[in-house]
Chains A and B, each alone.
Chain A
Amino acid sequence: MARVVLVGNLAQLTGGVTEFELSVTSVKQLFEQLTELYPAIGRHLDDGIAVAIDGQIYQDSLLEPIRPDSEVFLLPQIAGGSTSR
């Protein structure tokens, strides 16, 4: 079971829950499971969420693999030199 942590405002869409244990093998699966649990979060996951898997930030990637012992953080995308929201 991968440990999934929500950073920032996402927790407001999960009734304040910030940590999950999910058995997922990819970011895509992770997003799907979270959306099943909390439909409201779905739109936000498509809309500028970055994923940090074991310390490595992926600005936007659905296909990155997640291992059973992975630690995954969902955080806002960093647009950097481009417009930040």
Chain B
Amino acid sequence: MAKHHIQAQVNGDEVEFLCETEETLLDVLRDTLNMTGSKEGCSSGDCGACSVMLDGRLVCSCLVLGCEVGGRRIETIEGMAQGEKLHPLQQRFLEHAALQCGICTPGVLVASKALLERNSNPTETEVRYWLAGNLCRCTGYDKIVTAVMDTAAAMRKG
């Protein structure tokens, strides 16, 4: 059957695309919209590398069909920095060396931002459980958790 014609908002921009029913939002972002910041690590919702915000809700874009997102608001890693200025999380991930290979970093950052928007003062345990769906094989999570908590503290000070 014919492809679906979808209109949605990605990082504030109106986008239009065509997709097959079986194509996931991740396929659409990476292959159709050429936004390769969201990564595919497992395509089964187990690694979190494809994390995006869908209408303000943190989801794995590999578990969303492209044809489901008509009229909806999507935010990806590409929209995290505000113009010239990095998001405080991005800045602190750099300062704390909270990334090594960097493949999980976009997903971890999108998920961390979602956490801080709901909880400006998370405990270490809350950060660890919130990020349990974001696998990182390089860092052992230590510097990631430190960077998130340090960012939260700084943002609270404003």
- A adjacent to B, CB under 8 Å: no
Binding site for A on B (CB under 8 A): none
Chain A residues packing against B (C-beta within 8 Å): none
